[in-house]
Structure 1
């Protein structure tokens, strides 16, 4: 709601409350906050502008007096109806009514809050699912770009399935996992998330049912639900999704699709055992249940490589396989891929052309160079070593501060540790109190409504120093909330 680039000027001769008043007034006058727009709470504004709440109260008092905003008990403060009669000869459109009519579901408010706060430079991010900035291959990427011949780089549109050189490179890259995929069976996408969106739009109808592990990253995004698809969680154990329950779910619910992250699962960090993978594949064949295998964390093993992908054993074409460079090399490139039967890839490619007319041609050229010239494998050695040190540090800190109370998974790779706190700890309250102290966590109920005493902890983003500082803050808050150490 607030403009993250605007800041109070404490050296200006203009009083702080007047600066805030003028800022809000500009948002109203320029139509950025239209009639009916709900303003943040006074507490939130005070935190955003780093001023006393009394300063915000004074600014809002002026806006009330000028008839620009109004407040109702329990309804918060909103831009009111007579705003535009004061400032313009024309009535304002009620954009909020359009916002409410949109078919795409809004995300959970807490996820929206996390997405905003992650760009606050003062925040220690203990849940972020990406590599630290100092682990991104900046110098190597710069070298790749400098060596590229831009006479061969397409600055126009690429063909529907993506750059043919990149698809050939990905085809070759997948052979290391015993996945045979012709370039015609590969669609280049703008990250793995777009692959899932295309499946949702292109292969599922309203009323479809998708099964996913519970907890699962899939429960934290809304595009399946926005298309009228229901996502049902299937419990996990230390070996992955419980196949003993999966058959029952499939038969009772007439399921259309299974989504799984078998290697270094998001958010639990669990890796599906080889035996469980065989059980799962056998069951899906027998039940004619198609599967999406999300394998974006595969190359981030820290101890030993995970078992082969499910797709490597798929001779019937039942599995759609998703990969990406976002977790291993650069989230900013926005390059991923989905592998599947040719009719499926043709269908998804058609939808992709209708939505964005193709992933960035420049990003595709960089990705092809990155994968084909050995840069990718060199980089993996560096980040595996760094992530292993971070994981060990995180586990040591967790043992020091929570060894007598919480328990957690020990991941063999990826980014995440799934922490379960004592049941008397209210994770939502922990989230709010931690945020006030500039520590950001990802509550477990984002990924499973029943995981109210869990958090997804990431050791991939924050520095060693920030990991320790952040965990110490959580321990202090946990004591305040009644958890024992």
Structure 2
């Protein structure tokens, strides 16, 4: 909204009317928290004193009140003021919901990614410059729309796409049939379906520590517990898994063996064999999240765990979101047919199938070879970006941090040497238009770490962000003495 500075209505009254309209239309229901005064002043391009005056007027009208630790909260709506009926408290219902909200800092990151002028140094997706817009347009023009259905797909997804995926994964050792493949709206949906369809409440999920899954609440919302397994240079350490499985019989293991998120590590071929052997002895199911497979920057990674899974212990997750396009929302699960049948039934209950158009585009990319061509180009560009970020780290952070050179993926797992306060560093960097992913998202004990991404920000932005980050860290370390 832009306020009318030529109007005879004072600016603070225009702000009052703006907030009242948000409340009246239900966009800001009873119990919801209004934006901070500073942020609202930035949005509306007015002085903070104008917002403060408006909030005072709204409080006087009985619409909002200041709550300690919660900011300014909506307590009534204009309809409620005219009746004796108490308005519904939507906030109470939100808090009572079964599905847990994102962590507050994740919600902040999700919102801040779209701030004007922000430098996204933690984003786990390709830069818009690397997305295949032109090729996608060509493939769409060549689609036979007469034979293409805009209706629903069968429960497991477009059969032709599943046939293409079966041929694609055979190229790295996975032998499967279309009936053992489920199309999902990205790997995250696959994890949600697994959590509600295959696991009992109280099940323990063994996973790398740190891990991407600590930053989302998919499994926690279903009553799962996490048990972090340490990592070394070859990936997840397996020596404690069998003993842990004996003490917690209801267990499943989750791993990202290729270019792990957030550390960027690659699990060795020998470690993969060890993990499969442990899984077979302990009868421990494995979720193999392989969404970064195509993003190798030197040589291809070892064969997936699923390629050597002769006992049917591995559920394999793949996706086009990382290497092709996050907006297509196309991923897949490969596993034993009864398991895939169960997950397909749950998906039908959940959304009645992924987008048919997105599935057809994905099929065309795989069938025509355009996917292989695009991923080769993407790898070349990511290597240039990775090498640039490493060069700037060598120049600006040799005295402040430690890191390993990733052989693929998007991320550098940066360990800051001076003591830092992760939340304060995040907030201060955000004020200076640099958006970070602090290590505490992936491990509560990783307060000295940052997940830096070279996949999204431009070269100039990476340089500016590192210079800003260096300055903030030095200022924080000086204040700590």
TM-score norm. by structure 2 comes to 0.96
Paired with 2:475 and 2:47, the residues of 1 have a C-alpha distance of: 24
2:166 equivalent in structure 1 = 171
Q: Give the drift of 1:221.
A: 1.1
Paired with 1:75 and 1:382, the residues of 2 have a C-alpha distance of: 48
Q: Does structure 1 retain, via aligned residues, the 8 Å contact 2:306–2:314?
A: yes
- Deviation per CA, 1:48-106, whole angstroms, max 9, x where unpaired? 44543223212212212222211244442211247544355753211112111101011
Q: Give the drift of 1:236.
A: 0.9
Q: Does structure 2 retain, via aligned residues, the 8 Å contact 1:84–1:90?
A: no
Q: Which of these residues, 391, 396, 400, is aligned with residue 401 of structure 1?
A: 396
2:285 equivalent in structure 1 = 290
Paired with 2:84 and 2:460, the residues of 1 have a C-alpha distance of: 57
1:321 equivalent in structure 2 = 316
Q: Which of these residues, 456, 461, 481, is aligned with residue 461 of structure 1?
A: 456
TM-score norm. by structure 1 comes to 0.95
**SS in structure 2 opposite 1:465?**
helix
Q: Give the drift of 1:275.
A: 1.3
Q: Give the drift of 1:13.
A: 6.8
Q: CA RMSD in A?
A: 1.8
**SS in structure 1 opposite 2:182?**
strand
The 5 A counterparts of 1:179-328 are 179-328=174-323
Q: Is 1:421 aligned to residue 440 of structure 2? A: no
**SS in structure 1 opposite 2:253?**
strand
Q: Give the drift of 1:47.
A: 4.2
- Deviation per CA, 1:178-231, whole angstroms, max 9, x where unpaired? 100100100011111111111111100111111110111111111211111112
Q: Give the drift of 1:42.
A: 2.2
Q: Give the drift of 1:380.
A: 1.1
Paired with 1:134 and 1:422, the residues of 2 have a C-alpha distance of: 34
**SS in structure 1 opposite 2:396?**
helix
The 5 A counterparts of 1:430-445 are 430-445=425-440
Q: Which of these residues, 63, 68, 80, is aligned with residue 68 of structure 1?
A: 63
Paired with 1:229 and 1:149, the residues of 2 have a C-alpha distance of: 45
Paired with 2:84 and 2:176, the residues of 1 have a C-alpha distance of: 62
Q: Give the drift of 1:281.
A: 1.0
- Deviation per CA, 1:435-454, whole angstroms, max 9, x where unpaired? 01111001111111111111
**SS in structure 2 opposite 1:122?**
coil
1:3 equivalent in structure 2 = none
2:375 equivalent in structure 1 = 380
Q: Does structure 2 retain, via aligned residues, the 8 Å contact 1:273–1:307?
A: yes
- Deviation per CA, 1:336-366, whole angstroms, max 9, x where unpaired? 1000000000000000011111011111111
Q: Which of these residues, 5, 28, 36, is aligned with residue 33 of structure 1?
A: 28
Q: Does structure 1 retain, via aligned residues, the 8 Å contact 2:179–2:337?
A: yes
**SS in structure 1 opposite 2:226?**
strand
Q: Does structure 2 retain, via aligned residues, the 8 Å contact 1:34–1:92?
A: no
Q: Is 1:354 aligned to residue 383 of structure 2? A: no
Paired with 2:12 and 2:271, the residues of 1 have a C-alpha distance of: 61
Unaligned runs of 5+ in 2: none
Change (3 A) 1:171 1:82: closer
